[in-house]
Structure 1
Amino acid sequence: MLDYGEACPISMATSVLCEKWTLQIIRELFFGSTRYSEIQKYIPNLSPSLLRNRLRFLEEKGIVFRKPSATAGRYEYHLTPSGKALAPILNELGRWGMCHASEGMTDKPNAAPSLVRDITGGINTDQLPSGDTVIQLHLTDAEPHAKYHIYVRDNVAQECSQDLGFDVDVYITATTKALTRVWYGEIDIHKAIDNGSVKVVAHPVYLKSLKGWLGISSFTTENPQPFQP
């Protein structure tokens, strides 16, 4: 643990939170990941041993608690009230990063599962036609070439890496980089379509309201709140 050797609440907080990957792990817990494998899926650059050490440290500090899962021999990780209290801090940190430290951000790799998860959470279901909607995201630079599906039912959007066999209403094809640029508001979706970096095939009713239902990161807005306590 970092020790700044001074009586300051900022130093005490950063001594807990500013070890490498710690805030990213907490981010994933806010997004609903509870299993070790889920966290690893969304943070692929984090080594298994370091993830294990960070989770143990966060548990010792009372930010995370571990409990047995329904699967024998496995555990789930959840935020404690102390961990949930970090929601406004993460929101403001993301907003600051978007405003003051985002230069070159979209040139960096973005894990396909994370991008699909973010896009799913940003879909404005009120702008979609009534009834169920199936959206297929084909990320051409993911390995292997991945096709993800987003299912909208009863105004709730859920991601799924498997094709459940339903008819697809909207086909979106792009690289993760191109779609990341759209997600963070670096390029308008219609401009991305015009320049060929994103391809959308759908009934005109979906195309007409595309910009309304395909959201962008709330960190690009005045009131970002992707993390809820």
Structure 2
Amino acid sequence: MRTYGQYCPIARGAEIFAERWTPLIIRNLHLGCDTFGGILEGAPGLSHTLLAQRLKQLERLGIVESVPKPQGRGHRYQLTDSGHDLFGVCETLGAWGARWLEIAPENLDPYLALWSMCNALRPERLPEQRVVIRFDFTGFRPHERYWLLLEHGETEICKTYPGLDEDLYITAEAEAFVKWHAGRLSWAEAVRDSRIRLDGPPWLIRAFPTWNARSMFAHIKPAYDRALPNRGGGPQRTAGTLNAG
């Protein structure tokens, strides 16, 4: 690991926190992803090899610990007290990003928004019976289709047809779905403009937006009125981009 060679706590903390993928690993562990595969699922682009390296490093530093699974082989990963404190840094960074950084086209990954949505569902509001929801995403990326399975308060995202009857069909522009989840677009706006369309039983259509499946930063109002200096004579633009979390 490269170091700044300074005693300053900011420098020493940044040597750990600013490693690529480390904040997302900490975030995923906080959200309850306690297996190797679960952590990977919420970090598209992270390789198996690099995740293994990062987890070993975080264990060595006392930020993450692994414990044997109660049943079967393998280990579960969890944050230590130090790791939970470090997630507080993730929260502060996320709040800053939600306030000051726009969501650019390259950040519009509907799968990640769907994965994040599943971690924000309120189990007490979910239907008691099994529900299968098909999502069709259009827009910036090629057409993407996923299935969300809800049963007994548990959720599962399938990238291939699960062989079960579909109860609700949701067709959404990737941009609209991501920005709704991130709190940049209200459900009423998205549905009114047909950017998100639902087809299925009326009770399920009414219930879906009440499951409170938005980002933990959706309540933060962006400060995009603070524009960069207009040096080129064209339209002013606001600063920065950040993946929705």
* TM-score, length-scaled by structure 2: 0.72
Q: Which residue of 1 aligns with 2:97?
A: 97
Indicate yes or no: 2:202 matched with 1:188.
Answer: no
| Count of residues paired in the alignment | 215
Task: Provide Cα deviations, 1:159-188, integer angstroms capped at 9, x if missing partner.
Answer: 3437474662x3322244431121112222
What is the identity percentage for the equivalent residue pairs of Structure 1 and Structure 2?
A: 25
Indicate yes or no: 2:205 matched with 1:173.
Answer: no
Q: Which residue of 2 aligns with 1:60?
A: 60
Instruction: For 1:48-127, list aligned pairs within 5 A.
Output: 48-69=48-69, 70-72=71-73, 74-101=74-101, 103-105=102-104, 107-110=106-109, 112=111, 114-124=112-122
**RMSD, aligned CA:** 3.1
Deviation (angstroms), 1:62:
0.7
Deviation (angstroms), 1:12:
1.5
Q: Which residue of 1 aligns with 2:238?
A: none
Q: Which amino acid aligns with 1:216?
A: R
Distance 1:57 1:178, change over 3 A: same
Q: Which amino acid aligns with 1:85?
A: D
Q: Is the 8 A contact 2:110 2:177 kept in 1?
A: no
Deviation (angstroms), 1:41:
2.1
Distance 1:32 1:131, change over 3 A: closer
Distance 1:204 1:144, change over 3 A: closer
Q: Which residue of 2 aligns with 1:198?
A: 196
In the alignment, the residues of structure 2 paired with residue 208 and residue 9 of structure 1 have an alpha-carbon distance, to the nearest angstrom, of 50
Indicate yes or no: 2:146 matched with 1:147.
Answer: yes
Distance 1:209 1:48, change over 3 A: closer
What SS is found at the alignment partner of 2:155?
strand
Q: Which amino acid aligns with 2:40?
A: Q
Distance 1:157 1:71, change over 3 A: closer
Deviation (angstroms), 1:24:
0.8
